[in-house]
Structure 1
Amino acid sequence: MAEDELEIDLDDLTRRMDGAMVALKHEFSSLRTGRASASMLEPVMVDAYGSMTPINQVGTVNVPEPRMVTINVWDKALVNKVEKAIMESGLGINPQTNGTIIMLPIPELNEERRRELTKVAAQYAEQARIAVRNVRRDGMEQLKKAKNAGMSEDDNKVWHDEIQALTDKHIAQIDKALETKQAEIMQV
């Protein structure tokens, strides 16, 4: 009986570790690499109609050129609020307004800023590793409970090795994603 429950839990552990990877990729997508990307505006929220709203819900976000993002704001009354939200977001971009269209020229990244961004990427990766290790710890606690409930030593060892292999696989994926992102940031 305990073995069947652990199998379900292994699927849950996998799902939770995969969730840490998805969160990491989402955070990486918001890091500027010197190239325009609509995803860099995802974390920016606008105070629209009394609630905080993502930019893509108040206008159309486009990338017409490699170093330019445009936002066509649907409601003219929100143009200034969108502009203010972008300036306060910490992206380091100065918006230029032309009617209801806000243009965001993406400046070239200097060496110092690139190094800072690689450190931020490393912090995101470490947060993902911690999340994976926390999931592993939960799995090991479940394993300990199953052992106390009568699971054999051999089964316990098999499950222990399986949870560890799952953890190692996800940590390796995080390290590879970090390496790729840091190379992308440092690319001139």
Structure 2
Amino acid sequence: MALSRLRHPVILRARRLLAAAPSTFRSLHHVPEALNQIPDVDATSLRTLHFRLLSGVHGMPSKLQNGVRYFSSAVEEVSDDDYGNATAAVNVGPSIKATAVSQMEAATDALSRELAKLRTGRASAGMLDHIIVDTGGVKTPLCRMAVISVLDPKTLSVNPYDPNTLKELEKAIISSPLGLNPQSDNQRLIVPIPPLTKEHVQAVCKVVAKSSEDVKQSIRRARQKAMDTIKKSVPKKKDRDKSASAFSEDDAKRLEKKIDDLTKKFIKSAEDMCKSKEKEITSS
């Protein structure tokens, strides 16, 4: 069956993903799993699709190239009994690993954003990013309404894009839980950063500790999901002769080791981020 005539939804989805690849390259990781569900793809069509995906790699961003190559490595071999009735052997390992990495990265990214919200005794432009400003019923992050800059280690400057929103910006900063008292000069806001009290330091450190535990739990959940998927992907003994999966028990053990290594790496990264934040808080 020629690729141009192949209208299976999974192939159509692969085409659409490739066309939109610069913004959706992660979705390519789902293609290998879906290939197992195509009952009528012959060897020629599969190879042609393979080639067309790979031919678009050159000139793509590096992350996108990796996404396409995950698809490439997922189709490892085609057994040609009579070449017209072939079965695609699909290795879902790259897809499982990519999904786990994506989930773990999302967890550490969320932690980074949460830590940036915590006030220390030093001025940081990012400490106001999460503040929401209400202007006539429209709620907008402060960072989209003004340029926030550090004047010195104890002072921030907030320059609104629209001077008419100065009062709303001031109100939003005062209402935030940061305990800040901005001063207006009719053109911008000057925000002094007061020193932290002992009680505040202790409270913020508790928040950091809780955030650390939360992100580690998220990383471990991503690990467990990957492990469960790995176990389900290995054909049972009675089905091995019939299965088109190229995923063996040895492959599963190797992938489990990689997932464990990734888990340790991301947990250490999260712990290092939290230790750095605690040091920043206690030393200020």
TM-score, normalised with respect to structure 1? 0.91
Superimposed CA distance per residue, residues 115-160 of structure 1 (whole angstroms, 9 cap, x where no aligned partner):
1111111122122112111211210121121124555433322222
- Structure showing greater radius of gyration is 2
Give the whole-Å Cα distance in 1 for the aligned partners of 2:126 and 2:180: 14
Pairing partner for 1:158 from 241, 254, 257: 254
Give the whole-Å Cα distance in 1 for the aligned partners of 2:276 and 2:105: 18
Specify the alignment match of 2:159 in structure 1: 72
Pairing partner for 1:26 from 113, 132, 136: 113
Query: Contact 1:74 / 1:100 at 8 angstroms: preserved in 2?
Result: no
Comparing 42-51 and 149-158, the one that deviates more? 149-158
TM-score, normalised with respect to structure 2? 0.62
Superimposed CA distance per residue, residues 57-104 of structure 1 (whole angstroms, 9 cap, x where no aligned partner):
222212111101111223333222111111121111111111131111
The within-5 A match list for 1:104-123 is 104-123=191-210
Pairing partner for 2:270 from 153, 174, 182: 174
The within-5 A match list for 1:1-188 is 1-2=89-90, 4-148=91-235, 150=240, 151-188=247-284
Give the whole-Å Cα distance in 2 for the aligned partners of 1:13 and 1:70: 40
Q: Secondary structure at the match of 2:191?
A: strand
Give the whole-Å Cα distance in 2 for the aligned partners of 1:23 and 1:62: 23
The count of residues paired between Structure 1 and Structure 2 equals 187
Give the whole-Å Cα distance in 2 for the aligned partners of 1:102 and 1:41: 12
Give the whole-Å Cα distance in 2 for the aligned partners of 1:60 and 1:157: 51
Give the whole-Å Cα distance in 2 for the aligned partners of 1:103 and 1:94: 9
**Residue ranges of structure 1 left out of the alignment (5+ in a row):** none
RMSD: 1.7
1:49 CA drift (Å): 4.9
